[in-house]
Amino acid sequence: MPIRELEGRLCIVRLELSPAEIPDLLVRHAKKYPCAQELELAGTALAQAKFRPKASADFVQRVCKWGGGDRQMGRIRDNNSPNEVSLALSEGIALARSGDVAGGIERVQRLRNLGQSFASKQMRFLEPTRAVILDSVIRNRLGYRQTATGYAEFLSDCQTILTEVRRSGQLPETQAARLRVCDIEAAIFAKLKGY
């Protein structure tokens, strides 16, 4: 039984997730959080266009709105210039593409008023095959710390689960092959939220 220390308290952690239930969890997650595919396409286009400042600032706002961060949108917009946003996203994605996803999120998180949760949301839509979202639901329920190390641990766990799901034989091979690390995180989130 995994035991984690979180904010000075010991937590006993257990989450059961069958590979066969992942597709249904992803459908339910998509109903609660629509437009993810559109944001992924926008993230790809943004990177291909070399992170134009206004488009970068607009992208951050769209991702924050998707994630329910409406209250943060004004503070982020008012406290970071489009050039600062563009630089943060371009440097963050470069780190992620070099294998340092947690470092990339830390770079994006240096934008004023953008915490780890929303920084990881940005990276998830820029690099869905490399990044996951680590928000308070997952941190608090599973005991991951709100640090680069905590993020790296959660990402590694999601990558391990993805590998095991593909090996399990519980999903058709083509369906298992299409799963990405961000899909594992979304299924975990949906399972924890109970929808």
* DSSP code at position 17: -
42-58 pLDDT per residue, tens: 999 999 999 999 999 99
Residues 50 and 117 in one domain: yes
Residue 5 three-state SS: strand
Residues 148 and 122 in one domain: no
pLDDT-derived band at 1, boundaries 50, 70, 90? very low
> What gap in Å lies between CA 32 and CA 41, rounded to an integer?
19
17-48 pLDDT per residue, tens: 999 999 999 999 999 999 999 999 999 999 99
Assess contact for 164 and 181: CB atoms under 8 A: no
pLDDT-derived band at 73, boundaries 50, 70, 90? confident
> What gap in Å lies between CA 65 and CA 164, rounded to an integer?
33
The stretch 84-88 carries a mean pLDDT of: 98
Residue 11 three-state SS: strand
Structural domain that includes position 68: 36-126
The stretch 114-124 carries a mean pLDDT of: 97
What is the per-residue pLDDT for 103? 98
Residues 179 and 108 in one domain: no
H helices present in 98-193, as ranges:
101-109, 116-126, 136-142, 148-168, 173-178, 181-193
User: Of 106, 126, 146, which marks where a domain is finished?
Assistant: 126
Residues 118 and 174 in one domain: no
Residues 65 and 120 in one domain: yes
Helix (H) or strand (E) holding 77: helix 70-79
Please count the structural domains in the chain. 2
Assess contact for 91 and 36: CB atoms under 8 A: no
Report how far apart the first and last C-alpha atoms of the chain are (Å, whole number).
25
Residues 94 and 56 in one domain: yes
